[in-house]
Amino acid sequence: MSGFLGIVRRDLRLALTGGGEMMTLLLFFVIVGAITPFAVGPDQALLARIAPGIVWIAAFLAMLLGLDRLLRPDREDGTLALYRLADLPMAAIIAAKVIVYWLTSALPLIVASPFLALILAMDAEAFWRTMVSLLLGTPALAAFGTFGAAVTVAIRRGGLLAPILIAPLCVPVLIFGVGAIAPMGGPDQAQAAMLLLAALSLMAVALAPFAAALAIDWGEE
Amino acid sequence: MTHGQVHRAITLEVSGLACGHGDVVLASGLTFSVPGGTALALRGANGVGKSTLLLTLAGLLPPLQGSIALAGYDPEDGPAFHHCGHRNAVRPRLSVLQTLDFWAAINGRTGLSPTSALDRLGLGAIAGLDAGYLSAGQQRRLALARLLVSQRPVWLLDEPLAALDAEGQGLVVTLLAEHLDAGGLAVIATHDDLALKGLVTLTLGGGA
Amino acid sequence: MTLDDAPKMRWWNRLAHPGQFVSWTTPLILPLTILTAALMALGLWFAFFNSPADYQMGDTVRIMYVHVPSAWLSQFVYGAMTVSALGTLVWRHPLADVAMKAAAPLGAVYTAMALFTGSMWGRPTWGTFWEWDGRMTSTLIMLFIYLGIIALWRAFDDQLRAARVVAIFTLVGAVNVPIIKFSVDWWSTLHQPASVFRADGPTMPGSILTPLFIMFFAFTFLSITLQLVAMHTEVRRRRVATLERKAVRGESA
């Protein structure tokens, strides 16, 4: 347990003290959301209708941005080899990294989402549903993202490839995430979408560390 | 166990080993055994496969042929190998003590406390400073401190004396001697001469 | 220096040696090609001349005889890739990764063909080249997964190391494909409750089934033939790479 917490502590320290990466991610999220009205026009009704989709796309893109700093720096300075020789299983190490990734990429986005909701003309109820759906769905994005990072960690410039690989896997998260906010079919659909989203996140967070651990071990050999 | 023995009586046995990357074979037909309390020095020209052999022994690369076994070692005791490679795994923005403490956390706190280990390696005075400011020699000392905070019987060291000054090199030899006295064993790839008693030399690169 | 000395006794082990595999399966290629060509010719003849035009869509329904088998193959090839991935990871069969690598571009082409023929079919039928219905959207995502896998193979220098990483990605993809299909179907009913395009028509009389089945077999044999040839090519490609590497290092082959 102390090893697990040690990784969480170290990665949090590195993320919080270093280079303002968290702020960059946050800014990216807000900017993507904010420039959409320039592209589609400032019509309030239209913006309110597509706002959930915009927020989710912005969140997805922002989390993709943070993928490369998950594992590549560890590989480059030799820490990944240490992880493979460490006393805790690789899956536990990856699980710790998924948690930190979520805390440093997704949580700031969720905290910043009220601002986007405001400028994209969402009403209060849609806004609360947006927060909940982001809360339920971003763990799945974090888990898939970590898996993508693990698969591409051994490739030079593989940072370009990871988003491409995990985008198809994240489509269900986007579908249910947006479906939980602005259902065309009524509140029952929102309920179903929320539950499916939660199920997806649970499954992804539970299984991704094991798949990622295998990918890392086999990629390094 | 005799007095001073920390590790059980184990032997590293290698038989018919071929190591390399993918299907490129660097060294083959290696058969040797390193009993506890002794050290094996790997010598050979650059590129002959010393580093690859150490990685294979550590389990970080799969052997292309043959087998590696640690006779007398109970897997319940945890991982058996410490590997110190060319890269020191030192990251800026973490302090020296935080770095060592992290390694102790993931490897098991079975040895010296991180503070004592830093003192032992002469880094005690800068324990609170950002590790990004360390010189190459100091980084190497920090990497070696990792060996002290977690007790593992087998040390695999790749050019441990590189970047160290004379005092540092003497310190490494002392640490190695203590490790061997405690019943551990070591495989060291080096171009230098090590003043260790009971040192066996294996030269690689005689041909595939 | 050669490192493979698999016992050449049982056929399973005989298949495990790349050189043996190539020499053992080469005599199969010509008969398979002829069989494929014959089935294709027969199926297309039936499709064009001996099957009824649809009462609603007219002659354009004949695209179905190419569209449906392509769609089936794109799934089938992914299934074969999944089995090969298991072969690489679980059973450590040496040729499983060759099979997996050879299948990926084939699957991508079949998926693209399914999308293209579906698009061609859609234009005269509903007036649009693309329709975001459940089936076509899932096929599009399938294409992205295939292309991602091909990109992943190409990104690694060492193909043997790539094999296991691609295998685990293929397996994770296989687990996710049903989830993706389910979510896309859910999404498409959400946004377009009215029109959902069905690939098979409302009724399937025998005169439609016969050419369809023949084309299914024709495409399946096409897939097997191309897969075999692709595997031979991959085995030879790796042999060439090894020889080149040895020549550079100055060793004798």
Contact C76, C106 (CB under 8 A): no
Contact B43, B202 (CB under 8 A): yes
Looking at every residue in chain A, the average pLDDT score rounds to: 90
Residue B17, in any domain of the structure? yes
For residue B27, give how far its alpha carbon lies from the nearest alpha carbon of chain A (Å). Answer: 17
Residue C158, in any domain of the structure? yes
Residue C98, in any domain of the structure? yes
> Domain boundary residue among B135, B151, B167?
B151
Task: Determine the pLDDT at residue A185.
Answer: 58
Nearest CA in chain B to A77: B89
A-chain residues near C145 (CB < 8 A): 168
Mean pLDDT over A78-101 rounds to 94
Task: Give Cα separations from C203 to A143, A213, C213 (angstroms).
Answer: 44, 49, 15
Task: Give Cα separations from A173 to B178, C81, C83 (angstroms).
Answer: 56, 25, 27
ipTM: 0.89
Name the residue facing A172 among C145, C155, C180 (closest C-beta). C180
Judgement on whether residues B36 and B98 belong to the same structural domain of the protein: no
| Helix, strand or coil, per DSSP, at residue A74 | helix
> Domain boundary residue among B151, B172, B196?
B151
**Hey, of C183, C185, C192, which one would you mutate to test binding to chain A, going by the most A CBs within 10 A of its CB?**
C183
How far is the first Cα of chain B from the last one, in angstroms, to the nearest whole number? Answer: 41
- CATH number, domain of B201, equals 3.40.50.300
Residue C16, in any domain of the structure? no
Judgement on whether residues B72 and B95 belong to the same structural domain of the protein: no
Task: Determine the pLDDT at residue B116.
Answer: 92
CB contact (8 A) between residue B208 and residue C1: yes
CB contact (8 A) between residue A85 and residue B85: no
pLDDT (tens digit per residue) in A139-169 = 999 999 999 999 999 888 777 899 999 999 9
Maximum C-alpha span of chain B:
49
User: How deeply is A110 buried, as exposed, middle or buried, from its count of CB atoms within 10 A (0-12, 13-18, 19+)?
Assistant: middle
d(CA B103, CA B98): 9
Residue C84 domain boundaries: 30-51+64-194+205-249
Question: Can you tell me which residue has the tokens 């003849």?
Answer: C45
d(CA C4, CA A117): 62
Taking alpha carbons only, the member of A34, A36, A108 closest to residue A66 is A108
Touching subunits of B (3+ CB pairs, under 8 Å) are A, C
Higher-confidence residue of C149 and A127: namely: C149
pLDDT (tens digit per residue) in A26-43 = 899 999 988 988 888 888
Judgement on whether residues B13 and B76 belong to the same structural domain of the protein: yes
Q: Tell me the one-letter amino acid at C37.
A: A
Residue B2, in any domain of the structure? no
**Hey, of A200, A218, A220, A221, which one would you mutate to test binding to chain C, going by the most C CBs within 10 A of its CB?**
A218
When divided into structural domains, chain C yields a total of 1
pLDDT at C5 exceeding the cut of 60? no
pLDDT at C13 exceeding the cut of 70? no
CB contact (8 A) between residue C141 and residue A184: no
When divided into structural domains, chain B yields a total of 2
Residue B4, in any domain of the structure? no
Judgement on whether residues B124 and B169 belong to the same structural domain of the protein: no
CB contact (8 A) between residue C190 and residue A167: no
Residue C171, in any domain of the structure? yes
Nearest CA in chain C to B19: C3
pTM for this prediction? 0.88
> Is A192 in the B-facing interface, judged by CB distances under 8 Å?
no
Judgement on whether residues B108 and B201 belong to the same structural domain of the protein: no
Judgement on whether residues B160 and B145 belong to the same structural domain of the protein: no
Residue C77, in any domain of the structure? yes
Residue B101 domain boundaries: 90-151
C-alpha neighbours within 13 Å on the C-beta side of residue C49: 5
Contact C117, C70 (CB under 8 A): yes
Contact B40, B202 (CB under 8 A): yes
pLDDT (tens digit per residue) in C80-122 = 999 999 998 888 888 898 999 999 999 999 999 999 998 888 8
CB contact (8 A) between residue A168 and residue C180: yes
d(CA B207, CA B145): 36
CB contact (8 A) between residue C191 and residue A147: no
CB contact (8 A) between residue B105 and residue A13: no
Task: Give Cα separations from B31 to B27, B70, B151, C43 (angstroms).
Answer: 11, 14, 27, 63
User: Residue C200: pLDDT band by 50, 70, 90 thresholds?
Assistant: very low
How far is the first Cα of chain A from the last one, in angstroms, to the nearest whole number? Answer: 27
Percentage of the residues of chain A whose pLDDT score is greater than 70: 97
Mean pLDDT over A169-175 rounds to 95
d(CA C141, CA B189): 50
Judgement on whether residues B143 and B45 belong to the same structural domain of the protein: no
Residue C142, in any domain of the structure? yes
Judgement on whether residues B114 and B162 belong to the same structural domain of the protein: no
CA A15 from centre of chain: 15
